[in-house]
Structure 1
Amino acid sequence: MDKLAIVTGGSTGIGAHVVEAFSLAGFKVAFSFLSSREAADALVSGLTTRSGYVAGFECDVGFSGEVSLFYDEAVKWAGTEPHVLVNNAAVQTWSPLLDLEEDSWDKVIRTNLKGTFLNTKEAARRMIAAGIKGSIVNIGSGCNKLGFPNLVDYTASKGGIEQFTKVAAIELGPHGIRVNCIAPGSVATERTNRESPDYGATWSKITPLRRVGTPEDIAGPVLFLTTEQSSFITGQTIWVDGGLFSQPNWPY
């Protein structure tokens, strides 16, 4: 398959499993990373042995110059313009609103929301110029639907991504480009397990399926949204949360 999938923030966590899913599906996969070169190199090495073409490129997705260079390098490496973009790169800070530093707010909004904008703009322009009817999948969050205390910047960024998805889908639809959002619930990753050793037990109790998600649970729906089977789906947010955000917090 001579198709290129670009994944931002692809060296660890959900992103790494998305990279793996597209690689095993036959795509050439270029992913960005920022601070985890060792993990990026290990991912490339492992997947190249198993499935073929995977490459990692250092890029801060919140800066337009770095994003443009990332795409130039990825396209040169793959020999084709992108057919798929997965906006996965994200950072998170824990802080009450009244204690949140402006620099922390700026970093989260720049990476999560502005990064989604910059990469979507770059990928879509290239798809249109090449006549590619591509697919863009943005990674949202349960924060799209509910306010999470101590995550005001992250919640604002993810809520913005859901609305950005709708507008981008409307504007890019006439070019044959679909834009959708996957909103995960509680997912056990290296980061969540490190931050909260009892993460799985805590969130399983309030999830109807009585377990937390895995990165593979997210990668599958992301891949689906780029296939012919989803060719009439655009502008949508799909909740991959084990039912977590479908239930109110009833007192019984």
Structure 2
Amino acid sequence: MTVAVVTGADSGIGRATAVRLAESGMDVGITWNTDEEGARRTADEVRAAGRTAAVARLDLTALPDAVQAVDALADGLGGLDVLVNNAGTGTSTPFLDIDHATVRTVLDVDLGGPFLCSQHAARRMIAQGRGGRIVNVTSVHEHQPKVGAAPYCAAKGGLGLLTQVMALELAEHGITVNAVAPGEIATPMTGQEDRDVRREERPGIPLGRPGDAREIAAVIAFLAGPDASYATGASWVVDGGMLRMGPQAGSRLTSGDWRRP
């Protein structure tokens, strides 16, 4: 695998993944939506690892035309072997209060965008004739619900099943498709980027802390590399044990605060 495209690589998990893939020997296409400066900082880190970087804007609320950015990056880098669908968004709005426009935006960015990006990438991989890797970044909320996140959970759950369908249909072309489902990770989305996760206490998580973006990037890099050649159609949960706490956490709650986003 020599060329990867990582969507939403201007910060957080996307940036950590782009750098990790560069360190493993890949040239990397980097997309951004609102933070061009952040994307260029990621590109600088990729180049510091000795690899080629290219940057393009990808606004997944402007489907389907926006997905042409994936093709443009692949053209500029000379091919496409790995696609990481990392770009995403979410809400913290009660189900009864959320408006249709917000629902549509979340579904487009978190589900429609990865669907179309994967189509473009897979067609290119098939034409190249050397297989490929697609990794969809979902969430623990691919598997379990969260109050105030109805469209986000719907999109991530859908992306999890889409991953399985893609894995079945693309296997004959040597393309593997997996999901990585992070728990609470120290990123801009959770307001924790650049914090030392070892100093953050999370009593409800068995490992006792949030995750670092680089811990997610390591799993993505494994799935994008040669050692994962027989792994496809799975969701790789990386959450410090969070999902295992369902009944245990429920039995220990002391207030109804969980009902509010």
Per the TM superposition, whether the score is higher than 0.5 is: yes
CA distance in 2, matches of 1:209, 1:186: 12
Partner of 2:64: 64
The residue identity in structure 2 corresponding to 1:142 is V
The residue identity in structure 2 corresponding to 1:162 is G
Can you give the 5+ residue segments of structure 1 that lack an aligned partner in the other structure? none
1:208-239 residue CA offsets vs partner (Å, 9 max, x unmatched): 11111000110000010122221111000011
TM-score calculated relative to the size of structure 1: 0.92
For residue 249 of structure 1, give the secondary structure of its aligned residue in structure 2.
Answer: helix
Q: Is the 8 A contact 1:7 1:19 kept in 2?
A: yes
The residue identity in structure 1 corresponding to 2:86 is N
For residue 28 of structure 2, give the secondary structure of its aligned residue in structure 1.
Answer: strand
RMSD: 2.0
State the Cα distance separating 1:169 from its structure 2 match: 0.4
State the Cα distance separating 1:132 from its structure 2 match: 2.2
Q: Is the 8 A contact 1:188 1:200 kept in 2?
A: no
Partner of 1:27: 26
Partner of 2:135: 137
Given the alignment of the two structures, is residue 112 of structure 1 paired with residue 101 of structure 2, yes or no?
Answer: no
Partner of 2:125: 127
CA distance in 2, matches of 1:50, 1:24: 6
Can you give the 5+ residue segments of structure 2 that lack an aligned partner in the other structure? 253-261
Q: 2:184 aligns with which of 183, 186, 204?
A: 186
CA distance in 2, matches of 1:4, 1:93: 33
Partner of 1:227: 225
State the Cα distance separating 1:147 from its structure 2 match: 1.0
Q: What is the 5 A alignment of 1:71-220? A: 71-79=70-78, 81-193=79-191, 204-220=202-218
Partner of 1:46: 45
CA distance in 2, matches of 1:210, 1:49: 33
Q: Is the 8 A contact 2:9 2:42 kept in 1?
A: no
TM-score calculated relative to the size of structure 2: 0.89
CA distance in 2, matches of 1:50, 1:129: 29
State the Cα distance separating 1:100 from its structure 2 match: 0.3
CA distance in 1, matches of 2:221, 2:190: 23
For residue 99 of structure 1, give the secondary structure of its aligned residue in structure 2.
Answer: coil
Q: Is the 8 A contact 1:61 1:119 kept in 2?
A: no
CA distance in 2, matches of 1:203, 1:102: 36
CA distance in 1, matches of 2:198, 2:113: 29
State the Cα distance separating 1:61 from its structure 2 match: 3.0
State the Cα distance separating 1:194 from its structure 2 match: 5.6
CA distance in 2, matches of 1:49, 1:186: 29
The residue identity in structure 1 corresponding to 2:234 is Q
CA distance in 1, matches of 2:201, 2:153: 18
Q: Is the 8 A contact 2:13 2:213 kept in 1?
A: yes
CA distance in 1, matches of 2:45, 2:164: 36
Deviating runs (4+, > 6 A) in structure 1? 199-203
What is the identity percentage for the equivalent residue pairs of Structure 1 and Structure 2? 33
Q: What is the 5 A alignment of 1:232-243? A: 232-243=230-241
Pick closer, same or farther for the CA change 1:66–1:143 going to 2, 3 Å.
same
State the Cα distance separating 1:94 from its structure 2 match: 1.1
1:16-71 residue CA offsets vs partner (Å, 9 max, x unmatched): 10011111111010021110011112221233234221121011135122212x13
State the Cα distance separating 1:202 from its structure 2 match: 7.9
CA distance in 2, matches of 1:92, 1:45: 28
186-195 or 129-138, which deviates more: 186-195
1:115-140 residue CA offsets vs partner (Å, 9 max, x unmatched): 11001100000000110210100001
The residue identity in structure 2 corresponding to 1:174 is E
